[in-house]
Structure 1
Amino acid sequence: MCGMPQQPPVRSTPSPPPRPDASMSLLTNVMDHALDDGYAEATARRKAEGQAGMPRTLKAKLGLAGGLVLAALVVTVGAAQARITAPVVAKERQELIDRVDSETKAADKLQSDVDALRTEVGDRQRKALEKHGGDQGELVALLSGATEVHGPGVKLVVDDAKETSQGDGSRPRESTTFADTGRVRDRDMQRVVNGLWQSGAEAVAINGQRLTSFSAIRAAGDAILVDNRPLVPPYTVLAVGDGKKLSTAFQDSADGQYLHVLQQNYGIRASISAEGDVRLPAAPSLTVRTAKPMATGAGKGAADTGKGTS
Protein backbone atom coordinates (compact mmCIF):
# COMPACT_ATOMS: atom_id res chain seq x y z
CA MET A 1 0.00 0.00 0.00
CA CYS A 2 1.53 3.03 -1.11
CA GLY A 3 1.39 5.84 1.16
CA MET A 4 1.68 9.51 0.62
CA PRO A 5 5.12 10.93 1.43
CA GLN A 6 5.02 12.82 4.59
CA GLN A 7 6.14 16.35 4.61
CA PRO A 8 7.62 17.95 7.58
CA PRO A 9 5.25 20.07 9.43
CA VAL A 10 5.41 23.74 8.57
CA ARG A 11 6.43 25.88 11.50
CA SER A 12 5.44 29.53 11.53
CA THR A 13 8.17 32.12 12.29
CA PRO A 14 7.01 34.89 14.62
CA SER A 15 6.98 38.41 12.93
CA PRO A 16 9.10 41.21 14.49
CA PRO A 17 7.22 43.62 16.68
CA PRO A 18 6.14 46.94 15.00
CA ARG A 19 8.18 50.13 15.57
CA PRO A 20 6.78 52.46 18.14
CA ASP A 21 6.81 55.37 15.59
CA ALA A 22 5.21 53.31 12.83
CA SER A 23 2.08 55.46 13.02
CA MET A 24 4.14 58.64 12.54
CA SER A 25 5.82 57.72 9.25
CA LEU A 26 5.26 61.15 7.69
CA LEU A 27 6.81 62.99 10.60
CA THR A 28 9.69 60.53 10.69
CA ASN A 29 10.34 61.03 6.98
CA VAL A 30 10.46 64.80 7.43
CA MET A 31 12.90 64.47 10.31
CA ASP A 32 15.13 62.06 8.44
CA HIS A 33 15.16 64.16 5.28
CA ALA A 34 15.31 67.77 6.49
CA LEU A 35 16.62 68.99 3.12
CA ASP A 36 14.52 68.07 0.18
CA ASP A 37 16.27 65.80 -2.24
CA GLY A 38 15.43 68.11 -5.13
CA TYR A 39 17.13 71.06 -3.46
CA ALA A 40 20.14 68.92 -2.66
CA GLU A 41 20.33 67.75 -6.28
CA ALA A 42 20.07 71.30 -7.64
CA THR A 43 22.79 72.51 -5.30
CA ALA A 44 25.07 69.67 -6.31
CA ARG A 45 24.48 70.40 -10.00
CA ARG A 46 25.34 74.12 -9.62
CA LYS A 47 28.50 73.27 -7.77
CA ALA A 48 29.46 70.83 -10.49
CA GLU A 49 28.93 73.49 -13.14
CA GLY A 50 30.89 76.11 -11.19
CA GLN A 51 27.85 78.34 -10.70
CA ALA A 52 27.57 78.26 -6.99
CA GLY A 53 25.42 81.14 -5.53
CA MET A 54 27.01 84.37 -4.26
CA PRO A 55 27.06 84.78 -0.48
CA ARG A 56 24.31 86.97 0.85
CA THR A 57 26.70 89.27 2.70
CA LEU A 58 28.56 89.99 -0.51
CA LYS A 59 25.34 90.73 -2.34
CA ALA A 60 24.27 93.13 0.41
CA LYS A 61 27.59 94.96 0.29
CA LEU A 62 27.44 95.30 -3.48
CA GLY A 63 23.87 96.64 -3.29
CA LEU A 64 24.83 99.19 -0.65
CA ALA A 65 27.82 100.30 -2.69
CA GLY A 66 25.63 100.74 -5.77
CA GLY A 67 23.12 102.84 -3.79
CA LEU A 68 25.84 105.08 -2.43
CA VAL A 69 27.27 105.61 -5.89
CA LEU A 70 23.82 106.56 -7.22
CA ALA A 71 23.21 108.98 -4.31
CA ALA A 72 26.60 110.61 -4.82
CA LEU A 73 25.82 111.02 -8.50
CA VAL A 74 22.49 112.72 -7.75
CA VAL A 75 24.10 115.09 -5.20
CA THR A 76 26.89 115.95 -7.62
CA VAL A 77 24.47 116.72 -10.43
CA GLY A 78 22.31 118.86 -8.09
CA ALA A 79 25.30 120.83 -6.85
CA ALA A 80 26.45 121.44 -10.40
CA GLN A 81 23.02 122.74 -11.38
CA ALA A 82 22.87 124.96 -8.29
CA ARG A 83 26.24 126.51 -9.17
CA ILE A 84 25.02 127.16 -12.67
CA THR A 85 21.69 128.77 -11.64
CA ALA A 86 22.96 130.69 -8.57
CA PRO A 87 24.26 133.70 -10.55
CA VAL A 88 20.97 133.95 -12.44
CA VAL A 89 18.89 133.91 -9.24
CA ALA A 90 21.17 136.46 -7.57
CA LYS A 91 20.91 138.74 -10.60
CA GLU A 92 17.12 138.55 -10.68
CA ARG A 93 16.95 139.27 -6.94
CA GLN A 94 19.19 142.31 -7.26
CA GLU A 95 17.13 143.59 -10.19
CA LEU A 96 13.97 143.28 -8.07
CA ILE A 97 15.61 145.14 -5.17
CA ASP A 98 16.76 147.91 -7.52
CA ARG A 99 13.27 148.20 -8.98
CA VAL A 100 11.68 148.47 -5.52
CA ASP A 101 14.19 151.16 -4.50
CA SER A 102 13.56 153.07 -7.71
CA GLU A 103 9.77 152.98 -7.30
CA THR A 104 10.08 154.01 -3.64
CA LYS A 105 12.20 157.03 -4.58
CA ALA A 106 9.69 157.96 -7.29
CA ALA A 107 6.80 157.74 -4.80
CA ASP A 108 8.70 159.86 -2.27
CA LYS A 109 9.35 162.49 -4.93
CA LEU A 110 5.68 162.57 -5.91
CA GLN A 111 4.68 162.96 -2.26
CA SER A 112 7.16 165.80 -1.90
CA ASP A 113 5.69 167.49 -4.99
CA VAL A 114 2.18 167.08 -3.58
CA ASP A 115 3.20 168.64 -0.27
CA ALA A 116 4.87 171.55 -2.05
CA LEU A 117 1.82 172.16 -4.23
CA ARG A 118 -0.49 171.96 -1.22
CA THR A 119 1.62 174.54 0.59
CA GLU A 120 1.62 176.82 -2.46
CA VAL A 121 -2.16 176.55 -2.83
CA GLY A 122 -2.63 177.31 0.86
CA ASP A 123 -0.40 180.39 0.63
CA ARG A 124 -2.29 181.72 -2.38
CA GLN A 125 -5.63 181.13 -0.71
CA ARG A 126 -4.52 182.95 2.42
CA LYS A 127 -3.30 185.91 0.36
CA ALA A 128 -6.57 185.98 -1.54
CA LEU A 129 -8.53 186.03 1.70
CA GLU A 130 -6.40 188.84 3.11
CA LYS A 131 -6.60 190.86 -0.12
CA HIS A 132 -10.33 190.55 -0.77
CA GLY A 133 -11.55 190.55 2.80
CA GLY A 134 -11.59 194.34 3.00
CA ASP A 135 -11.64 195.69 6.54
CA GLN A 136 -12.63 192.20 7.70
CA GLY A 137 -9.70 190.48 5.99
CA GLU A 138 -7.87 189.66 9.18
CA LEU A 139 -11.03 188.29 10.81
CA VAL A 140 -11.85 186.24 7.74
CA ALA A 141 -8.35 184.78 7.71
CA LEU A 142 -8.63 183.98 11.41
CA LEU A 143 -12.01 182.27 11.18
CA SER A 144 -11.08 180.32 8.07
CA GLY A 145 -7.86 179.04 9.65
CA ALA A 146 -5.73 180.72 7.01
CA THR A 147 -3.21 182.17 9.44
CA GLU A 148 -1.35 181.01 12.52
CA VAL A 149 -2.82 182.39 15.73
CA HIS A 150 -1.88 182.61 19.39
CA GLY A 151 -3.33 184.05 22.55
CA PRO A 152 -4.91 183.04 25.86
CA GLY A 153 -7.04 179.92 25.84
CA VAL A 154 -7.47 176.43 27.24
CA LYS A 155 -5.69 173.13 26.93
CA LEU A 156 -7.88 170.04 27.04
CA VAL A 157 -6.26 166.59 27.03
CA VAL A 158 -8.45 163.53 26.38
CA ASP A 159 -7.06 159.98 26.55
CA ASP A 160 -8.27 156.37 26.52
CA ALA A 161 -8.98 154.62 29.80
CA LYS A 162 -6.10 152.75 31.41
CA GLU A 163 -8.18 149.58 31.51
CA THR A 164 -11.04 148.70 29.20
CA SER A 165 -14.40 148.87 30.92
CA GLN A 166 -17.78 147.54 29.80
CA GLY A 167 -19.82 150.31 31.49
CA ASP A 168 -23.25 149.78 32.98
CA GLY A 169 -25.16 150.22 29.71
CA SER A 170 -27.27 153.10 31.03
CA ARG A 171 -25.13 156.06 29.97
CA PRO A 172 -24.15 157.78 26.71
CA ARG A 173 -22.86 154.55 25.17
CA GLU A 174 -25.81 152.31 25.95
CA SER A 175 -26.39 151.68 22.21
CA THR A 176 -22.74 151.18 21.30
CA THR A 177 -21.72 148.02 19.47
CA PHE A 178 -18.12 148.30 20.67
CA ALA A 179 -16.99 146.18 23.59
CA ASP A 180 -14.08 148.50 24.34
CA THR A 181 -16.07 151.45 25.71
CA GLY A 182 -12.97 152.84 27.41
CA ARG A 183 -11.60 154.02 24.06
CA VAL A 184 -12.14 157.59 22.89
CA ARG A 185 -14.33 157.61 19.78
CA ASP A 186 -14.70 160.07 16.93
CA ARG A 187 -18.15 161.10 18.16
CA ASP A 188 -16.62 161.95 21.55
CA MET A 189 -14.14 164.32 19.94
CA GLN A 190 -16.90 165.82 17.81
CA ARG A 191 -18.85 166.74 20.94
CA VAL A 192 -15.75 168.09 22.68
CA VAL A 193 -14.82 170.36 19.75
CA ASN A 194 -18.38 171.57 19.18
CA GLY A 195 -18.68 172.24 22.90
CA LEU A 196 -15.57 174.43 22.79
CA TRP A 197 -16.89 176.37 19.77
CA GLN A 198 -20.20 176.96 21.50
CA SER A 199 -18.45 178.03 24.69
CA GLY A 200 -16.66 180.86 22.88
CA ALA A 201 -13.49 179.40 21.32
CA GLU A 202 -12.14 181.48 18.43
CA ALA A 203 -9.78 178.84 17.02
CA VAL A 204 -9.30 175.12 17.76
CA ALA A 205 -6.65 172.53 16.94
CA ILE A 206 -6.31 168.83 17.81
CA ASN A 207 -2.79 167.39 18.07
CA GLY A 208 -1.51 170.30 15.99
CA GLN A 209 -4.20 169.86 13.32
CA ARG A 210 -6.04 173.17 12.85
CA LEU A 211 -9.80 172.93 12.48
CA THR A 212 -11.76 175.06 10.08
CA SER A 213 -15.46 175.49 9.43
CA PHE A 214 -15.26 172.60 6.95
CA SER A 215 -13.20 170.19 9.05
CA ALA A 216 -14.52 166.69 9.61
CA ILE A 217 -13.77 164.29 12.45
CA ARG A 218 -14.29 160.71 11.35
CA ALA A 219 -13.22 157.18 12.30
CA ALA A 220 -11.33 154.56 10.32
CA GLY A 221 -11.34 151.40 12.39
CA ASP A 222 -9.99 152.39 15.80
CA ALA A 223 -8.21 155.48 14.45
CA ILE A 224 -9.66 159.00 14.62
CA LEU A 225 -9.21 161.09 11.47
CA VAL A 226 -9.26 164.88 11.30
CA ASP A 227 -9.57 165.99 7.69
CA ASN A 228 -8.49 162.46 6.68
CA ARG A 229 -5.32 162.64 8.77
CA PRO A 230 -5.00 160.02 11.52
CA LEU A 231 -4.44 161.07 15.14
CA VAL A 232 -3.15 159.00 18.04
CA PRO A 233 -4.04 159.39 21.72
CA PRO A 234 -3.71 161.30 23.90
CA TYR A 235 -5.70 163.96 22.06
CA THR A 236 -4.52 167.46 22.98
CA VAL A 237 -7.11 170.12 22.12
CA LEU A 238 -5.98 173.75 22.13
CA ALA A 239 -8.54 176.52 21.90
CA VAL A 240 -7.96 180.26 21.74
CA GLY A 241 -10.30 182.38 23.86
CA ASP A 242 -10.76 183.83 27.33
CA GLY A 243 -9.07 181.02 29.25
CA LYS A 244 -10.96 180.93 32.57
CA LYS A 245 -14.29 181.91 31.06
CA LEU A 246 -13.93 179.39 28.23
CA SER A 247 -12.95 176.59 30.63
CA THR A 248 -15.89 177.25 32.94
CA ALA A 249 -18.38 177.61 30.11
CA PHE A 250 -17.27 174.34 28.52
CA GLN A 251 -17.42 172.33 31.75
CA ASP A 252 -20.92 173.65 32.46
CA SER A 253 -22.16 172.91 28.94
CA ALA A 254 -23.95 169.72 27.86
CA ASP A 255 -20.85 168.56 25.99
CA GLY A 256 -18.67 169.19 29.02
CA GLN A 257 -21.08 167.12 31.14
CA TYR A 258 -20.96 164.39 28.49
CA LEU A 259 -17.17 164.25 28.85
CA HIS A 260 -17.55 164.11 32.63
CA VAL A 261 -19.87 161.11 32.30
CA LEU A 262 -17.30 159.33 30.15
CA GLN A 263 -14.75 159.90 32.89
CA GLN A 264 -17.00 158.63 35.66
CA ASN A 265 -18.47 155.59 33.91
CA TYR A 266 -15.86 154.44 31.41
CA GLY A 267 -12.55 155.57 32.87
CA ILE A 268 -11.71 157.93 30.00
CA ARG A 269 -9.10 160.40 31.20
CA ALA A 270 -9.55 164.14 30.64
CA SER A 271 -8.04 167.32 32.07
CA ILE A 272 -8.62 170.97 31.23
CA SER A 273 -6.59 174.01 32.20
CA ALA A 274 -6.57 177.70 31.35
CA GLU A 275 -3.42 178.83 29.53
CA GLY A 276 -1.90 182.27 29.23
CA ASP A 277 -0.79 181.72 25.65
CA VAL A 278 -1.47 178.91 23.20
CA ARG A 279 -0.28 178.74 19.59
CA LEU A 280 -2.25 177.18 16.78
CA PRO A 281 -0.80 176.56 13.30
CA ALA A 282 -2.53 177.55 10.10
CA ALA A 283 -4.69 174.96 8.40
CA PRO A 284 -2.69 172.90 5.87
CA SER A 285 -5.29 173.41 3.17
CA LEU A 286 -8.25 175.68 2.73
CA THR A 287 -11.50 175.46 0.85
CA VAL A 288 -12.43 178.86 -0.56
CA ARG A 289 -16.02 179.42 -1.58
CA THR A 290 -17.56 182.34 -3.40
CA ALA A 291 -17.61 185.68 -1.58
CA LYS A 292 -20.66 187.93 -1.63
CA PRO A 293 -20.53 191.75 -1.46
CA MET A 294 -21.60 193.23 1.85
CA ALA A 295 -24.69 195.44 1.79
CA THR A 296 -22.99 198.21 3.81
CA GLY A 297 -20.28 199.01 1.31
CA ALA A 298 -19.28 198.40 -2.26
CA GLY A 299 -16.20 196.43 -2.95
CA LYS A 300 -16.20 194.82 0.46
CA GLY A 301 -16.93 191.15 0.89
CA ALA A 302 -16.40 188.31 3.25
CA ALA A 303 -16.03 184.64 2.64
CA ASP A 304 -18.69 182.38 4.08
CA THR A 305 -17.43 181.05 7.39
CA GLY A 306 -18.99 179.18 10.22
CA LYS A 307 -18.20 177.16 13.27
CA GLY A 308 -18.98 173.56 13.93
CA THR A 309 -17.53 170.17 13.24
CA SER A 310 -19.43 167.38 11.61
Structure 2
Amino acid sequence: MSLLTNVMDHSLDEGYAEAAARKRADGSGGLPRTARAKLGLAAGLVLAALVVTVGAAQARVAAPVVAKEREELIDRIDRETEAADELENTVDELRDDVSARQREALKQSGGGGRTDLVGILSGAVAVHGPGVKLVVDDAKEAATGGDGDPRETSGFSDTGRVRDRDMQRVVNGLWESGAEAISVNGQRLTALSAIRAAGDAILVDNKPLVPPYTVLAVGDGKNLSTRFQNSADGVYLSVLQDNYDIRTAISVEEDVRLPAAPSVIVRTAEPRTEKDAS
Protein backbone atom coordinates (compact mmCIF):
# COMPACT_ATOMS: atom_id res chain seq x y z
CA MET A 1 0.00 0.00 0.00
CA SER A 2 2.86 2.39 0.71
CA LEU A 3 4.09 1.92 -2.90
CA LEU A 4 0.70 2.75 -4.34
CA THR A 5 0.44 5.76 -2.09
CA ASN A 6 3.87 6.96 -3.25
CA VAL A 7 2.89 6.60 -6.94
CA MET A 8 -0.33 8.54 -6.43
CA ASP A 9 1.38 11.34 -4.53
CA HIS A 10 4.35 11.59 -6.92
CA SER A 11 2.94 11.05 -10.47
CA LEU A 12 5.80 12.99 -12.10
CA ASP A 13 9.36 11.89 -12.02
CA GLU A 14 11.43 13.97 -9.69
CA GLY A 15 13.69 15.02 -12.60
CA TYR A 16 10.72 16.36 -14.56
CA ALA A 17 9.47 18.14 -11.48
CA GLU A 18 12.82 19.82 -10.97
CA ALA A 19 12.98 20.94 -14.66
CA ALA A 20 9.49 22.45 -14.45
CA ALA A 21 10.43 24.24 -11.28
CA ARG A 22 13.51 25.73 -12.95
CA LYS A 23 11.43 27.00 -15.94
CA ARG A 24 8.97 28.66 -13.61
CA ALA A 25 11.83 30.26 -11.73
CA ASP A 26 13.39 31.56 -15.03
CA GLY A 27 10.05 32.94 -16.26
CA SER A 28 10.07 30.68 -19.31
CA GLY A 29 7.02 28.74 -18.29
CA GLY A 30 3.49 29.42 -19.50
CA LEU A 31 1.45 28.14 -22.37
CA PRO A 32 2.81 25.38 -24.57
CA ARG A 33 4.10 26.32 -28.05
CA THR A 34 1.06 24.80 -29.77
CA ALA A 35 -1.31 26.80 -27.59
CA ARG A 36 0.62 30.00 -28.28
CA ALA A 37 0.47 29.33 -32.06
CA LYS A 38 -3.28 28.80 -31.92
CA LEU A 39 -3.71 31.95 -29.91
CA GLY A 40 -1.65 33.98 -32.45
CA LEU A 41 -3.65 32.55 -35.35
CA ALA A 42 -6.91 33.47 -33.64
CA ALA A 43 -5.65 36.99 -33.02
CA GLY A 44 -4.64 37.31 -36.69
CA LEU A 45 -8.05 36.15 -37.87
CA VAL A 46 -9.76 38.63 -35.58
CA LEU A 47 -7.53 41.42 -36.91
CA ALA A 48 -8.21 40.44 -40.55
CA ALA A 49 -11.95 40.33 -39.91
CA LEU A 50 -11.71 43.76 -38.32
CA VAL A 51 -9.85 45.17 -41.36
CA VAL A 52 -12.38 43.68 -43.81
CA THR A 53 -15.26 45.04 -41.77
CA VAL A 54 -13.76 48.52 -41.62
CA GLY A 55 -12.99 48.45 -45.39
CA ALA A 56 -16.54 47.37 -46.22
CA ALA A 57 -17.94 50.12 -44.03
CA GLN A 58 -15.74 52.74 -45.71
CA ALA A 59 -16.69 51.46 -49.19
CA ARG A 60 -20.36 51.62 -48.24
CA VAL A 61 -19.93 55.19 -47.10
CA ALA A 62 -17.87 56.21 -50.19
CA ALA A 63 -20.14 54.51 -52.77
CA PRO A 64 -22.70 57.33 -52.97
CA VAL A 65 -19.90 59.88 -53.34
CA VAL A 66 -18.28 57.94 -56.21
CA ALA A 67 -21.65 57.49 -57.94
CA LYS A 68 -22.35 61.21 -57.63
CA GLU A 69 -18.95 62.14 -59.04
CA ARG A 70 -19.50 59.72 -61.96
CA GLU A 71 -22.88 61.25 -62.76
CA GLU A 72 -21.38 64.75 -62.60
CA LEU A 73 -18.59 63.70 -64.97
CA ILE A 74 -21.08 62.20 -67.44
CA ASP A 75 -23.19 65.36 -67.31
CA ARG A 76 -20.09 67.48 -67.93
CA ILE A 77 -19.10 65.34 -70.92
CA ASP A 78 -22.60 65.65 -72.36
CA ARG A 79 -22.55 69.45 -71.91
CA GLU A 80 -19.13 69.80 -73.50
CA THR A 81 -20.17 67.56 -76.41
CA GLU A 82 -23.26 69.69 -77.03
CA ALA A 83 -21.14 72.84 -76.84
CA ALA A 84 -18.66 71.39 -79.34
CA ASP A 85 -21.50 70.48 -81.71
CA GLU A 86 -22.90 74.00 -81.46
CA LEU A 87 -19.48 75.49 -82.18
CA GLU A 88 -19.04 73.20 -85.18
CA ASN A 89 -22.43 74.29 -86.54
CA THR A 90 -21.45 77.91 -85.99
CA VAL A 91 -18.18 77.35 -87.88
CA ASP A 92 -20.09 75.82 -90.79
CA GLU A 93 -22.49 78.75 -90.89
CA LEU A 94 -19.64 81.27 -90.75
CA ARG A 95 -17.77 79.41 -93.48
CA ASP A 96 -20.82 79.52 -95.72
CA ASP A 97 -21.28 83.21 -94.99
CA VAL A 98 -17.62 83.95 -95.81
CA SER A 99 -17.85 82.00 -99.06
CA ALA A 100 -20.99 83.89 -100.06
CA ARG A 101 -19.35 87.23 -99.28
CA GLN A 102 -16.26 86.24 -101.26
CA ARG A 103 -18.33 85.31 -104.29
CA GLU A 104 -20.27 88.54 -104.07
CA ALA A 105 -17.10 90.60 -103.75
CA LEU A 106 -15.50 88.88 -106.74
CA LYS A 107 -18.62 89.39 -108.82
CA GLN A 108 -18.53 93.12 -108.08
CA SER A 109 -14.87 93.26 -109.03
CA GLY A 110 -15.42 91.30 -112.23
CA GLY A 111 -13.78 88.11 -110.96
CA GLY A 112 -16.90 86.06 -110.35
CA GLY A 113 -15.96 83.53 -113.02
CA ARG A 114 -12.82 82.59 -111.15
CA THR A 115 -14.47 82.11 -107.75
CA ASP A 116 -15.99 78.71 -108.45
CA LEU A 117 -12.77 77.47 -110.03
CA VAL A 118 -10.69 78.60 -107.08
CA GLY A 119 -13.18 77.01 -104.68
CA ILE A 120 -13.04 73.71 -106.56
CA LEU A 121 -9.27 73.61 -106.79
CA SER A 122 -8.81 74.58 -103.15
CA GLY A 123 -11.39 72.09 -101.89
CA ALA A 124 -13.48 74.82 -100.27
CA VAL A 125 -16.70 73.79 -102.04
CA ALA A 126 -18.40 70.45 -102.68
CA VAL A 127 -18.07 69.13 -106.23
CA HIS A 128 -19.45 66.36 -108.40
CA GLY A 129 -18.89 65.01 -111.87
CA PRO A 130 -17.55 62.03 -113.80
CA GLY A 131 -14.53 60.28 -112.39
CA VAL A 132 -13.22 57.07 -110.91
CA LYS A 133 -13.74 55.07 -107.75
CA LEU A 134 -10.68 53.26 -106.40
CA VAL A 135 -11.00 50.91 -103.41
CA VAL A 136 -7.84 49.75 -101.63
CA ASP A 137 -8.11 47.21 -98.81
CA ASP A 138 -5.86 45.11 -96.58
CA ALA A 139 -5.18 41.51 -97.49
CA LYS A 140 -7.68 38.99 -96.16
CA GLU A 141 -5.01 37.42 -93.99
CA ALA A 142 -3.60 40.75 -92.84
CA ALA A 143 -1.90 40.49 -89.46
CA THR A 144 -1.04 43.08 -86.88
CA GLY A 145 2.41 43.65 -85.49
CA GLY A 146 5.85 44.06 -86.95
CA ASP A 147 7.70 47.32 -86.78
CA GLY A 148 9.30 47.13 -90.20
CA ASP A 149 7.91 48.05 -93.57
CA PRO A 150 8.21 44.97 -95.80
CA ARG A 151 8.23 47.15 -98.90
CA GLU A 152 11.39 48.94 -97.77
CA THR A 153 13.09 46.96 -95.02
CA SER A 154 14.24 43.37 -95.28
CA GLY A 155 14.06 40.99 -92.34
CA PHE A 156 10.41 41.59 -91.46
CA SER A 157 7.46 39.52 -92.63
CA ASP A 158 4.74 41.39 -94.49
CA THR A 159 1.57 42.14 -92.56
CA GLY A 160 -0.60 42.59 -95.65
CA ARG A 161 -1.70 46.02 -94.47
CA VAL A 162 -2.05 49.15 -96.56
CA ARG A 163 0.48 51.75 -95.43
CA ASP A 164 0.22 55.52 -95.40
CA ARG A 165 2.95 55.74 -98.05
CA ASP A 166 0.87 53.45 -100.26
CA MET A 167 -2.06 55.84 -100.06
CA GLN A 168 0.27 58.77 -100.71
CA ARG A 169 1.39 57.17 -103.96
CA VAL A 170 -2.19 56.37 -104.95
CA VAL A 171 -3.34 59.95 -104.39
CA ASN A 172 -0.32 61.50 -106.09
CA GLY A 173 -0.76 59.15 -109.02
CA LEU A 174 -4.38 60.23 -109.45
CA TRP A 175 -3.41 63.91 -109.30
CA GLU A 176 -0.71 63.32 -111.90
CA SER A 177 -3.16 61.39 -114.09
CA GLY A 178 -5.52 64.36 -114.31
CA ALA A 179 -7.80 64.25 -111.27
CA GLU A 180 -9.36 67.61 -110.46
CA ALA A 181 -10.61 66.76 -106.94
CA ILE A 182 -10.00 63.78 -104.63
CA SER A 183 -11.44 62.45 -101.39
CA VAL A 184 -10.43 59.46 -99.24
CA ASN A 185 -13.21 57.86 -97.20
CA GLY A 186 -15.19 61.09 -97.51
CA GLN A 187 -12.25 63.28 -96.45
CA ARG A 188 -11.64 65.96 -99.11
CA LEU A 189 -8.00 66.56 -99.97
CA THR A 190 -6.59 70.05 -100.40
CA ALA A 191 -3.19 71.60 -101.00
CA LEU A 192 -2.72 71.52 -97.21
CA SER A 193 -3.73 67.88 -96.71
CA ALA A 194 -1.35 65.32 -95.24
CA ILE A 195 -1.53 61.52 -95.20
CA ARG A 196 0.33 60.06 -92.24
CA ALA A 197 0.31 57.02 -89.98
CA ALA A 198 -0.30 56.48 -86.27
CA GLY A 199 0.51 52.87 -85.49
CA ASP A 200 -1.53 50.75 -87.88
CA ALA A 201 -4.02 53.55 -88.58
CA ILE A 202 -3.82 55.90 -91.56
CA LEU A 203 -4.55 59.56 -90.86
CA VAL A 204 -5.81 62.08 -93.41
CA ASP A 205 -5.54 65.59 -92.00
CA ASN A 206 -5.16 64.01 -88.54
CA LYS A 207 -8.43 62.08 -88.86
CA PRO A 208 -8.08 58.29 -88.58
CA LEU A 209 -9.49 56.15 -91.38
CA VAL A 210 -10.37 52.47 -91.39
CA PRO A 211 -10.11 50.07 -94.33
CA PRO A 212 -11.32 49.64 -96.95
CA TYR A 213 -10.06 52.97 -98.26
CA THR A 214 -12.40 54.40 -100.89
CA VAL A 215 -10.76 57.02 -103.09
CA LEU A 216 -13.04 59.14 -105.25
CA ALA A 217 -11.53 61.32 -107.98
CA VAL A 218 -13.34 63.75 -110.27
CA GLY A 219 -12.00 63.92 -113.80
CA ASP A 220 -12.30 62.43 -117.26
CA GLY A 221 -13.34 59.03 -115.96
CA LYS A 222 -12.13 56.62 -118.65
CA ASN A 223 -8.94 58.51 -119.48
CA LEU A 224 -8.23 59.09 -115.78
CA SER A 225 -8.54 55.36 -115.06
CA THR A 226 -6.33 54.38 -118.00
CA ARG A 227 -3.65 56.95 -117.23
CA PHE A 228 -3.49 55.97 -113.58
CA GLN A 229 -3.24 52.24 -114.21
CA ASN A 230 -0.45 52.83 -116.75
CA SER A 231 1.44 55.21 -114.47
CA ALA A 232 4.27 54.24 -112.14
CA ASP A 233 1.96 54.58 -109.14
CA GLY A 234 -0.67 52.38 -110.80
CA VAL A 235 1.96 49.72 -111.46
CA TYR A 236 3.10 50.05 -107.84
CA LEU A 237 -0.46 49.33 -106.70
CA SER A 238 -0.57 46.27 -108.95
CA VAL A 239 2.67 45.01 -107.40
CA LEU A 240 1.12 45.33 -103.93
CA GLN A 241 -1.82 43.30 -105.14
CA ASP A 242 0.31 40.57 -106.72
CA ASN A 243 2.99 40.27 -104.05
CA TYR A 244 1.21 41.16 -100.81
CA ASP A 245 -2.43 40.20 -101.57
CA ILE A 246 -3.60 43.76 -100.98
CA ARG A 247 -7.01 44.08 -102.60
CA THR A 248 -7.73 46.83 -105.13
CA ALA A 249 -10.62 47.64 -107.46
CA ILE A 250 -11.02 50.60 -109.81
CA SER A 251 -14.13 51.56 -111.74
CA VAL A 252 -15.23 54.44 -113.96
CA GLU A 253 -18.18 56.37 -112.51
CA GLU A 254 -20.59 58.69 -114.30
CA ASP A 255 -21.07 60.91 -111.26
CA VAL A 256 -19.04 61.01 -108.05
CA ARG A 257 -19.75 63.48 -105.28
CA LEU A 258 -17.07 64.95 -103.04
CA PRO A 259 -17.77 67.05 -99.93
CA ALA A 260 -16.07 70.32 -99.15
CA ALA A 261 -13.00 70.23 -96.97
CA PRO A 262 -13.83 70.83 -93.29
CA SER A 263 -11.46 73.80 -93.13
CA VAL A 264 -9.26 75.63 -95.58
CA ILE A 265 -7.00 78.02 -93.70
CA VAL A 266 -4.51 80.28 -95.45
CA ARG A 267 -1.85 81.47 -93.02
CA THR A 268 0.62 83.29 -95.25
CA ALA A 269 -0.88 84.39 -98.57
CA GLU A 270 -2.32 87.89 -98.95
CA PRO A 271 -4.28 89.52 -101.80
CA ARG A 272 -2.05 91.25 -104.31
CA THR A 273 -2.83 94.94 -104.87
CA GLU A 274 -1.87 97.32 -107.67
CA LYS A 275 0.65 98.92 -105.35
CA ASP A 276 2.37 95.54 -104.87
CA ALA A 277 2.42 95.02 -108.64
CA SER A 278 4.18 98.32 -109.20
For these two proteins, the number of residue pairs brought into alignment is 238
Q: How does 1:43-62 map to 2 (within 5 A)?
A: none
Partner of 1:99: 72
Per-residue CA distance 1:183-210 (angstroms, 9 max, x = gap): 1111111111111111111111110111
Partner of 1:266: 244
Residue of 116, 130, 143 corresponding to 2:121: 143
CA–CA distance in structure 1, aligned partners of residues 49 and 164 of structure 2? 65
Partner of 2:12: 39
Q: How does 1:163-242 map to 2 (within 5 A)?
A: 163-164=141-142, 173-175=151-153, 179-242=157-220
CA–CA distance in structure 2, aligned partners of residues 239 and 85 of structure 1? 63
- Percent identity between the two aligned chains: 53
CA shift for structure 1 position 37: 6.1
CA–CA distance in structure 1, aligned partners of residues 230 and 114 of structure 2? 32
Structure 1 pair 248/40, CA: closer, same or farther in 2 (3 Å)? closer
Greater Rg, structure 1 or structure 2? Answer: 1
CA–CA distance in structure 2, aligned partners of residues 176 and 112 of structure 1? 47
Gaps of 5+ in 2: 1-6, 16-34, 144-149
CA shift for structure 1 position 80: 6.9
Partner of 1:4: none
CA shift for structure 1 position 87: 4.4
CA–CA distance in structure 2, aligned partners of residues 230 and 264 of structure 1? 27
CA shift for structure 1 position 154: 0.4
Measured on the aligned residues, the alpha-carbon RMSD in Å equals 3.8
Residue of 40, 44, 61 corresponding to 1:88: 61
Per-residue CA distance 1:170-228 (angstroms, 9 max, x = gap): xx923378643521111111111111111111111110111112111111111111111
Partner of 2:82: 109
Give the match's secondary structure for 2:261. Answer: coil
Structure 1 pair 150/177, CA: closer, same or farther in 2 (3 Å)? farther
CA–CA distance in structure 1, aligned partners of residues 88 and 160 of structure 2? 36
Give the match's secondary structure for 2:179. Answer: coil
Structure 1 pair 150/79, CA: closer, same or farther in 2 (3 Å)? closer
CA–CA distance in structure 2, aligned partners of residues 222 and 216 of structure 1? 16
CA–CA distance in structure 1, aligned partners of residues 44 and 153 of structure 2? 71
Give the match's secondary structure for 1:271. Answer: strand
Structure 1 pair 88/262, CA: closer, same or farther in 2 (3 Å)? same
Gaps of 5+ in 1: 1-33, 43-61, 166-171, 295-310
The question of whether the paired residues in 1 share the 8 Å contact of 2:158 and 2:244 is answered with no
CA–CA distance in structure 2, aligned partners of residues 202 and 256 of structure 1? 18
The question of whether the paired residues in 1 share the 8 Å contact of 2:133 and 2:216 is answered with yes
1:255 aligns with 2:228: no
Residue identity opposite 2:194 in structure 1: A
Structure 1 pair 92/201, CA: closer, same or farther in 2 (3 Å)? same
The structure carrying a bigger helix percent of its residues is: 2
1:291 aligns with 2:271: yes
The question of whether the paired residues in 2 share the 8 Å contact of 1:203 and 1:240 is answered with yes
Partner of 2:146: none
CA–CA distance in structure 2, aligned partners of residues 83 and 219 of structure 1? 48
Structure 1 pair 153/83, CA: closer, same or farther in 2 (3 Å)? closer
When normalised by structure 2's length, the TM-score is 0.71
CA–CA distance in structure 2, aligned partners of residues 173 and 77 of structure 1? 64
